[in-house]
Amino acid sequence: MTMSRSPACRNKDPTPLLREMIENAIKTHTNVESVSENKIDRETDDKLYYSKKIMNIMHEVVNRLNHLEEYKKVEKKNSTDDKPRQTQKMRDLNNKLIAKNE
pTM for this structure? 0.37
Q: Is the pLDDT of residue 76 over 70?
A: yes
Instruction: Kindly tell me if the per-residue pLDDT of 35 is higher than 60.
Output: no
Spatial separation of the C-alpha atoms in residues 27 and 24, rounded to whole Å: 5
Q: How far apart are CA 58 and CA 26, in angstroms?
A: 8
H helix intervals, 1-102 = 7-10, 15-33, 42-101
Q: How far is CA 18 from CA 10, 23, 31, in A?
A: 15, 9, 20
User: What does the pLDDT average to over 57-84?
Assistant: 77
The share of the chain scoring above pLDDT 70, in percent, equals: 57
Determine the pLDDT at residue 1: 44
Between CA 48 and CA 42 the distance in angstroms is: 10
pLDDT band at 94 (very low <50, low <70, confident <90, very high): confident
Distance of CA 24 to the CA centre of its chain: 16
